[in-house]
Amino acid sequence: ESVSPSQSAVRAHDGTTTGATMKTAFGLVLLAAPSIGRAGRPSFARALATAATSRSPSPSPPHRYYILRHGETDANASGRIQGSSDASRLTERGRAQAAEVAAAAFSGVVGGAVGTVFSAAYVSPLTRARETLSVVRELAGPGVLPPAERVLTDLREIDFYGWEGRDKADLMAEFPDSYRAWKVGDSRNVVVEGRLPVVEVWERAASVWEVVRADAAAAAARTSASASTSAENHPRAVDGSPGADGDGGGEGTPPPPPDTTPSTLLVCHGTLGQALLCAAFGRDETHFRLYEFPNCGLAEIVWHGDEKLARSWRWHHPTPSELSSM
């Protein structure tokens, strides 16, 4: 399954490799494998990015991004390709999966799978993703999710054109080469009506990060400005007690939340989720199917504000893992 940044990527349709890169305003660079074009099919050349191995630690604070795939749909259950069509709906099992991830990761309990409060939430415009978020919202702990989410068109699933709504067995019989490439992760040989859907969804993932990270940076700036204003209006002595114009002692002041790292939730789809995860670490579409999202799979990405690439990631659901680099 499954706002444009400035791009300098050059597509080579003759099987040759150019010296191009794909870079957004945030400096996101996709690492490319060597061109693997075949006669009669386009080969998209990307330059290798050295920034991934040469970055230095950033003084900016981290931001956590959580990617959640929707629950099982009737199309998932029956073996039909969904793509970016909006005909499928969650099954009872899919709703149960959404309830399970809500209880495991969105209770707000310290020490739980997430244990954080989300400052922003984004969702695909497709019904299956919005249904999943609705179930999670109903069961999430008080104040864990923001009051409203932003619907982001680019969070839709991969565009599969004429394959959408088709039975997978029929596609295998009619388009054996392209369908086999889809199943094994040969991203540049998945050709549908002359298009390269997996390549396209990776490019769209970079656009999503451009939007979401710009919003996060703007929110951080507002928070910093508000904190500065508050400090000016309520000066404190060196020992931390209120200044002369304070309104009393600090007794009874509630402690800060246990996890104050800004966090953003993105509710989307399987292939788009893979693309988002890989693009955050500069991995291009040749990494397709290396990090597959199950239904209601939840992954966390830790990304420092002004760094080109994310630092670490982990699975939260269904099987938790430790933070690590990619």
What CATH number labels 62-161+196-225+257-324? 3.40.50.1240
DSSP strand pairing (312-317 vs 298-304): antiparallel
99-138 burial, b for 16+ CB within 10 Å, e for fewer? bbbbbbbbbbeeeebbbbbbbbbbbbebbbbbbbbbbbbe
Per DSSP, the three-state class of 286 is helix
DSSP strand pairing (298-304 vs 120-123): unpaired
Burial of 229 (0-12, 13-18, 19+ CB in 10 A): exposed
d(CA 229, CA 68): 36
What string of pLDDT tens digits covers the 326 residues of the chain?
543 333 333 333 333 333 444 455 555 555 554 443 433 434 333 433 444 444 555 567 899 999 999 999 999 999 999 999 999 999 999 999 999 999 999 987 544 456 688 999 999 999 999 999 999 999 999 999 999 999 999 999 999 999 999 999 999 999 999 999 999 999 999 999 999 999 999 999 999 999 999 999 999 888 877 666 655 565 554 444 444 444 444 455 554 445 678 999 999 999 999 999 999 999 999 999 999 999 999 999 999 988 999 999 999 999 999 999 99
Q: What is the pLDDT of residues 292-301, one digit of tens each?
A: 999 999 999 9
Element containing residue 65 per DSSP (H, E): strand 62-69
Half-sphere exposure of 275 (CA within 13 A, CB side): 27
d(CA 150, CA 175): 37
Torsion of CA 151, 157, 160, 166, to 10 degrees: -110
Give the model's pLDDT for residue 251.
53
Give the model's pLDDT for residue 27.
54
Strand partners, 314: 300
CB 91 within 8 A of CB 72: yes
Give the model's pLDDT for residue 253.
56
Q: What is the pLDDT of residues 170-189, one digit of tens each?
A: 999 999 999 999 999 999 99
Longest Cα pair distance anywhere in the chain, in angstroms?
Answer: 80
Q: Which two tokens stand for residue 195?
A: 């298009």
Give the model's pLDDT for residue 234.
57
CB 1 within 8 A of CB 270: yes
* Domain boundaries along the sequence of the chain: 62-161+196-225+257-324
pTM for the structure as a whole: 0.78
